[in-house]
């Protein structure tokens, strides 16, 4: 699947964002090795801190469906450059990604930046320390 195609799925997920407080819609789509695609949007909360980012919604959706291995993740928002994941999401992605997983940071203009998890979260603390 092309990066552009996965971004298209992320854009669909973005339309489902629940963002009454920030108004900032984010969509994510994750392609599992099974070939299945899982979507996620950001889901805000009146107490603010329980807000779930789009990337975490997508990966939790995939994990809860039994997936463990991934090919690619696309994130899209209305940003000047491709939308970068927050620090919390980077840590969650690190739990399940290695550097073979493609990460596409996209915006609505069609820009895509290509990243690996080790670029987004260098010197990470990860499962390797514990398992
Ligand atoms: N947000 C995401 O969903 N993903 C990111 O990578 C950055 C931030 C959401 C959280 C909140 O709902 C809104 O964007 C503004 O921070």
- Contact 27 CB / ligand 1 (< 6 Å): no
CATH number at residue 114: 3.40.140.10
Q: Is 89 in the pocket of ligand 1 (CB under 6 A)?
A: yes
* Choice from 17, 21, 41, 42 to test ligand 1 binding pocket (greatest atom count within 8 A of CB): 42
The reply to whether ligand 1 has any atom less than 6 angstroms from the CB of 54 is: yes
- Give the range of the structural domain holding residue 51, as residue numbers without chain letter: 3-129
Number of domains in the chain: 1
Furthest CA-CA distance within the chain = 42
By the 8 A CB rule, do 104 and 74 touch? yes
Local confidence pLDDT in tens for the 131 residues of the chain: 999 999 999 999 999 999 999 999 999 999 999 999 999 999 999 999 999 999 999 999 999 999 999 999 999 999 999 999 999 999 999 999 999 999 999 999 999 999 999 999 999 999 999 99
Which ranges of the chain does DSSP label H, i.e. alpha helix? 3-14, 54-64, 87-96, 117-120
Euclidean distance between the first and final Cα of the chain, in Å? 32
């Amino acid at each position: 699947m092309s990066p552009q195609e996965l971004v298209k799925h992320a854009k669909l997920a973005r339309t489902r964002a629940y963002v009454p407080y920030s108004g900032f819609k984010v969509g994510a789509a994750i392609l599992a090795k099974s070939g299945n695609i899982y979507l996620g949007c950001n889901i805000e909360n009146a107490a603010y801190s329980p807000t779930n980012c789009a990337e975490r919604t997508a990966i939790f959706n995939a994990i809860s469906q039994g997936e463990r291995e991934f090919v690619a993740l696309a994130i899209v928002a209305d940003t000047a450059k491709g939308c970068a994941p927050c620090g919390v999401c980077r840590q969650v992605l690190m739990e399940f990604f290695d550097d073979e997983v493609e990460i596409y940071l996209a915006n609505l203009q069609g820009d895509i930046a290509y990243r690996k998890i080790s670029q987004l979260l260098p010197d990470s603390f990860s499962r390797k320390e514990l398992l």
